[in-house]
Each structure stands twice: as C-alpha cells, then as structure tokens.
Amino acid sequence: MFESIVVATDGSETASEAVRQAAQLAGALGARVHLVCVYEPVPSAHDAEGGIGVRSESGWVLRPREAVDATLAAAAAVFAAAGVEVDLYAQRGDPADAILDVAEERGADLIIVGNRGRAGAKRFLLGSVPNRISHHAPCAVLIIRTP
C-alpha cells in the first residue's frame, strides 16, 4: 500500500500530531519515512522570537540550521521509537514546493502534513501550504487536523 511516506514538520503542535500519527501508520505498514523540515528567509524585523539568524547579502535573515536540525531530531526520535526507518531533509525555500520536491524525488506514495504551523520566523505550514500540497502532490495526501 504505502511504502514511502513524506512527513512534514516544523515542531508545532499540529506537526507533532502529524508525526505521531505518521509513525503509527508507517510502523504498521513497514513504510520508510522521509521527514522534511523547511526553512525560508525571513525579514530580520520578523525574527521576534529571539532566534539567532545569519544576515544574507539580500538583507534577509535565515532561520538557524540548528533550529531545523533540532526539530528534525525530535521528530526522528518518534519514528525511531516506533521502529520506523527515517531519512531527514532540511530544505530551504517555499514550504509546499520543498515538500513536493522531496515527495517527487523519493517516489512517495503518501504525504502527511498538519493543517497549521508556527507563525512568525518559525513559519512553516500556514494556511495555503496543505492546500497547495493537496492540489499538486504526485501521490495521496493526508492532512492531520487539529483544533
């Protein structure tokens, strides 16, 4: 059925629930998971959450790679506890595009995302991202809904 699953996370409550449910599903199916965390340039004025950023030549501040790595590591631990093989992807760019790129590159059978994400500098899955993924995905999409 599903052998290759892309799961997107930003560390938000909704993404954590998506990770939890994806781990259960992947464990039951014996699927391999491709765990994606996307970061994108944000204006330095919006880096209000105290994250340390690196100013690029364009004047934008990039979310620290350490934050992305920590988010991936925390989610990967959930999959490891469920006995699921997981590959980690820290992708820079537009969230929907980056998730879709990994799904296409890895021949995913399913993409699992949450219905909302973080705001501000830690933005990831906002409003239209799950919608864009559902309309352009090369495979099935499961959107985990949380209040």
Domains of the chain: 4-63+78-119+137-144 (3.40.50.620)
* Residue matched to tokens 């209000």: 48
Residue 12 has pLDDT above 90, yes or no: no
The pTM for the full model equals 0.80
pLDDT of 121 above 50: no
> For 17-29, what is the mean pLDDT?
97
Average pLDDT, the chain: 83
**What is the structure's pLDDT at 76?**
98
Residue 120 has pLDDT above 60, yes or no: no
Give phi and psi for 146, each to the nearest 5.
-130, 155
- Over residues 116-134, the mean pLDDT reads 63
CA–CA separation, 94 vs 96, rounded Å? 6
CA atoms within 13 A on the CB side of 115: 5
Burial class of residue 21 in the structure, from the number of CB atoms within 10 Å of its CB (0-12 exposed, 13-18 middle, 19+ buried): middle
**Rounded-to-integer distance, Cα 113 and Cα 36, Å:** 10
- From first CA to last CA, the distance across the chain in angstroms is 29
